[in-house]
Structure 1
Amino acid sequence: MEHRHRLEDRTPEPNRVWIDLAGPDEAAIARTEALTGLALPSCADLREVERSSRLRRQRDALVLSTPMVSFDGAPGLHPLGFVLARDRLVTLRFQALPPFEAVARRQAEPDGPRTSTALFGALLAELVDALADRLEAMSDALDALSGRVFDFDLGRGGAPKRRDRALRQILGEVGRSGKALSMLRAALLGLGRIVPFVAAEAEPWLGPEEHTHLEILRLDIVSLEEFETRLSETVQFLLDATLGLVNMEQNNTFRVLTVVSVIGIPPTLVASIYGMNFKTMPELDWAWGYPYGLALIALSALAPALYFRIKGWF
């Protein structure tokens, strides 16, 4: 007996245990419904967010759905659906999912999963493993990003434009990490709801090993949710730190402008004084009056500049 079929342009045979609908249209769904006697959800149904829409019993089958992240290319969320019956499993997906291919390879092995519930458990296990790998990769990426944030030297980062570009890049990476984590959280939350629901509603179909497997998956998902929470806290911490660096950079800019404006006040005052045209001004008759005025202007600018330099303002 063959156990899996990926529906494309032909109708699957009645003895298929696992029917995998990849990107199905209405015609494909209708053919599968006619074959299996199961009512399959549409893509719009799979996108429903209410718990009652994502987890429900429909006659002798369980209709389950969850958002699932993309495991290749740009990150994104796509609906993933399961229709689980005692002797049939139908999956509906709208993206390439390597865990499904991994289960298909395992199914071809002599001791691979054969029943609908065993195939369902294997799919969940592969999805959980894939999500765990994504979280581990995110953890490594955040560690590297943390080093870049806290090693960032505002005083030695090059020209202001270059420092600004570097901070923008860091801020963008922090934002993308937060977005990716939110997608992983949604997928984990969906799987975390599916596992106990199936364990309770499909109890007559499950053997002792499958019950144990589902309980292990539930505990794994809980631990991954806790790990994701810590990563989310790290992302928030890095976001706050990066915004702090941006504020410091802005403060440095305002400080430089303040120092420059203060340095410019004494020369302006001296030039204003000697710009007055009073007949009795003694310096008007000096042979060295003009060099004296220039020297006084220069000295009035250098003195506050030296003072601010000693104080470490720039």
Structure 2
Amino acid sequence: MLKLYRWPSDDWRNIGAEMPSEIIWADLLNATDEEKQFVERLLGIRIPSEESLSEIEASSRLIRDHGTLYLSAPAVRLTEDNEAEITPVGFVIGPHVLVTVRFAELPIFDDIGKRIGSDDSLENGMCVFTSLLEAMIDRGADVLEHLGARVDTLSRGVFRGGLVRTQRPVRSSRRMREALENIGELADRLAKARDVLLGVGRIASFAGDVGSEWITAASKTRLHAVSKDVVSLSDYETRLSDKIQLLLDAVLGFINIQQNELFKVLTIVSVVGVPPTILVGIWGMNFKYMPELEWTFGYALAWLAVIASGVLPLIWFKRRGWFE
């Protein structure tokens, strides 16, 4: 789909050989070959493919060719299952027109598109580009704040006994498994937010430093502010990442403690059961001559010996603090 902003008609096929001066933004969403060729012909540019926009090296994401900027950055979209996925976004910036190339619905682009009709400050493509970056930063800040709140909630549950408060090991194991799943989800969301912030920071810094004559001082100031916001959000993201790593280490530590408790119980049971088993095995042998069979109190003494052989190890474990 091709959408031309500040052009009164939705039918772009009626446009002649030159791009009308009213148009400041051409948004390509899953564009067809015909739409791509139309924009390329009018502006004398090339429309990058999804594969080229997905490349991670800086030389492929930050390009200046004959005064035109070819930039790309990752963005996050939500699937129907509310799962976050990375999708590439391309920006082709010229003296007057901005061309965006994307392959997923992104609410930020729709919001900026609604502003164009009423916001006179969006006078050219660079202004629209700067507004898009600012909106992406605002969205990234909201995501980090949401993730920070979830991390704090999970942290309280982990360090205030929420995982091992119950005396039933099955419930503790289920809670620990859920905690690990939540930590993995948070780490994945945070990694995607980090990718977006790094991408926005790179293209904002590059666009502000190229020095093209059609990039105004006001736009450069706004791009510099975007770069500073990226730095501050990156610091916050680093702190969240460290906290998530701490939570992961803590949960794994609780799992090890629970396993040690289980092995402790198994050790006590095995040690307590060995002496009675030996005595019962000895007295259960079918030998013809066994002196204990002739004892008057042999049966009672045998019971006493079996019970004592099981109780004495328990007393020893108790003194060693194994039941605490």
Length-normalised TM-score, structure 2: 0.88
* 1:164-203 matched pairs, under 5 angstroms: 164-203=173-212
Stretches of structure 1 lacking an aligned partner (at least 5 in a row): none
User: Cα distance 1:139–1:88, how it changes in 2: closer, same or farther (>3 A)?
Assistant: same
| Corresponding residue SS for 1:204 | coil
Q: Deviations over 1:147-190 (max 9, x none)?
A: 12112367642422221121111111111211111111111111
* Partners of 2:301 and 2:248 in 1: CA distance: 55
* Separation of aligned partners in 1, 2:53 and 2:196: 13
Q: Is the 8 A contact 2:163 2:176 kept in 1?
A: no
Contact 2:90 2:100 in 1 (8 A): yes
Q: Is the 8 Å Cα contact of residues 5 and 113 (structure 2) preserved in structure 1?
A: no
Secondary structure of 1:188's partner?
A: helix
Unmatched runs of 5 consecutive residues or more in structure 2: none
Give the match's secondary structure for 2:84.
coil
Report how many residues are paired: 311
Correspondences of 1:216-255 after superposition (within 5 Å): 216-255=225-264
Q: 2:196 corresponds to which letter in structure 1? A: A
Corresponding position: 1:51 with 2:58: yes
The one-letter code of the counterpart of 1:138 is: L
Aligned with residue 97 of structure 1, among 99, 106, 129: 106
Answering whether residue 39 of structure 2 is matched by residue 39 of structure 1, we say no
- Choose 187-196 or 157-166, whichever is displaced more: 157-166
The one-letter amino acid of 1:123's match is L
CA separation of 1:110 and 1:155: change in aligned 2, threshold 3 A: closer
- 1:279 matched to 2:289? The reply is yes
Residues 1:43 and 1:310: Cα distance change in structure 2 (over 3 Å): same
Identity of aligned residues (%): 37
* 1:3 corresponds to which of 5, 10, 15: 5
- The one-letter code matched in structure 2 to 1:134 is V
Q: Deviations over 1:175-231 (max 9, x none)?
A: 121111111111111111101110122541122322211111110011111111111
Q: 1:11 to 1:48 in 2, by over 3 A?
A: farther
Residue type matched to 1:262 in 2? V
Counterpart code for 2:62: L
Structure 2 residue 132 is matched with structure 1 residue 130: no
Match of 1:298 in 2: 307
Distance in structure 2 (CA, Å) of the matches to 1:9 and 1:160 = 66
- For residue 70 of structure 1, report the CA deviation from its aligned partner: 2.1
Structure 1 counterpart of 2:266, one-letter code: L
How far apart are 1:252 and its partner, in Å?
Answer: 1.0
Equivalence for 1:20: 27
Cα deviation for residue 9 of structure 1 reads: 8.6
CA RMSD of aligned residues (A): 2.4
Contact 2:157 2:163 in 1 (8 A): no
Residues 204, 223 of structure 2: 8 Å contact kept? yes
Change (3 A) 1:202 1:23: farther
Normalised by the length of structure 1, the TM-score is: 0.90
1:259 corresponding residue in structure 2:
268
**Which whole-Å deviations, capped at 9, do the CAs of 1:223-259 have from their partners, x for residues lacking one?**
1111111111111111111111111111111111111
Distance, in Å, in 2 between the alignment partners of 1:260 and 1:54 is: 64
Distance 1:8 1:76 in 2: 30
